[in-house]
Structure 1
Amino acid sequence: MSKRDDIVTAAVDVFGRYGFRQTSMELVARAAGVSRPALYQHFANKQDVFAAVAARVTDLMTDAAHRARDTGGTPADQVYGVLSVKLETAIGVTEARFRQELVSEAIAMGLSSVEDRLVDALVDLLAEVPEPRETAALLLASTVGIGQSDGTPEALRHRLRRLVDLVMEGLNTAPHQRS
């Protein structure tokens, strides 16, 4: 792993713990075990570091979502697997009070949206349902809501699984009800 990769890895944790506004180049340098001048050899400023962090997290989440999508199991298991990537990231990487700040900053900087990639992964699984993109976006938005709600990680996972089971069951019975 290169020094730049080591810095990005450390910065993921720093942004997750302190948010965008409270993160400083000093905090990133300290977490990465480098001096500030060494940090500036790799990154021009905090926005540059944040862009690298956002790209790393997006790639990791996309890869995990594709693995979950491509595993065996029922369609509900696969949908849950993709959505759990988002939930686990919300539970484990970023403090709840900084999630919206980091997302807003990424949008303001015009960075690639992981949500778009996750929706694409879900659309592949929901191709047979009416409005698969809208259904995928709704499921993803619901996952964000679950991730921001109170409860233990186990309770949040249970809520997500229940949501997926209800939606998939409804999608499987809906065509029969229309006849």
Structure 2
Amino acid sequence: MQVDTGRIGQSDDKQQVILTAAMAAFAQYGFRRVSMDEIAKRAGMSRAALYLHFRNKEDIFATGVELYFEQVAGAMADVLHGAGDPVEALRGAFAAKVAPPYDMLMDSPHGEELIDLKTTAAAGVVAEGDAKLIAVISDWLARAQAAGRVTLEDYGTPEDAARTILNALHGVVMAARSYAVLRADLDRLARLIGRSLRS
């Protein structure tokens, strides 16, 4: 699925209204049951007006996923560069990865369908998003290593370690069955990894 990435980041209030309406509908009814008519109605516009912004609901979903990754990458970078201790840095970064509206997804009876859809209908967008997150974590590790706050002696390059950290985070996310458990497990993972990285 190709997404018009030129739209992301632009100040388009209508587009944000559409994305918010669509994600709420997907969480309530599941992706398959939601029509473009339903999204248009929730967004307060005609179906024709909706098609001026998006080709179909797959396009809406992929654009929402892309926007999510952009927001998460920015939030993670802010947290990682603002924290000195590796444990606190990772606790904040992991919390940013699953910040609201991720809770809405986890608490939805259709959350599993939407997570699966993320890896099929938006697979390319997810791969690009993961690459952004790896770059953010890698940059933090390189800076923290240079400052003497972490050691990567047993973990390879900053990029190798960042990829492993993100894969571990994904494993915890995929195994979680509730948002509260997810947050607790990610906090535990941050402490495990952060303590092992301390110089």
Give the TM-score of the pair, scaled to structure 2: 0.71
SS of equivalent to 2:186: helix
The offset of 1:115, in angstroms, is 1.6
Give the TM-score of the pair, scaled to structure 1: 0.78
Q: Give the alignment partner of residue 121 of structure 2, picking from 105, 112, 115.
A: 105
Counterpart of 1:177? none
2:161 corresponds to 1:145: no
SS of equivalent to 1:42: coil
For residues 47-106 of structure 1, the C-alpha deviation after alignment (integer angstroms, 9 at most, x for no partner) is 332332223212221221122122234122112222222233684142431212223211
For residues 17 and 154 of structure 1, do their structure 2 counterparts lie closer, same or farther at Cα, with a shift above 3 Å needed?
same
2:63 corresponds to 1:48: no
Counterpart of 1:162? 188
Cα distance between partner residues in 2 of 1:32 and 1:101: 22
Cα distance between partner residues in 2 of 1:8 and 1:91: 14
Cα distance between partner residues in 2 of 1:17 and 1:116: 30
RMSD value, Cα: 2.6
SS of equivalent to 1:111: helix
Greater share of helix residues, 1 or 2?
1
Number of residue pairs aligned between Structure 1 and Structure 2: 171
For residues 18 and 137 of structure 1, do their structure 2 counterparts lie closer, same or farther at Cα, with a shift above 3 Å needed?
farther
Structure 2 residue runs of 5 or longer lacking an equivalent are 1-11, 146-151
Q: Give the alignment partner of residue 26 of structure 1, picking from 31, 37, 46.
A: 37
For residues 7-48 of structure 1, the C-alpha deviation after alignment (integer angstroms, 9 at most, x for no partner) is 122223334444543432122112212221221222222233
Structure 1 residue runs of 5 or longer lacking an equivalent are 174-179
SS of equivalent to 2:45: coil
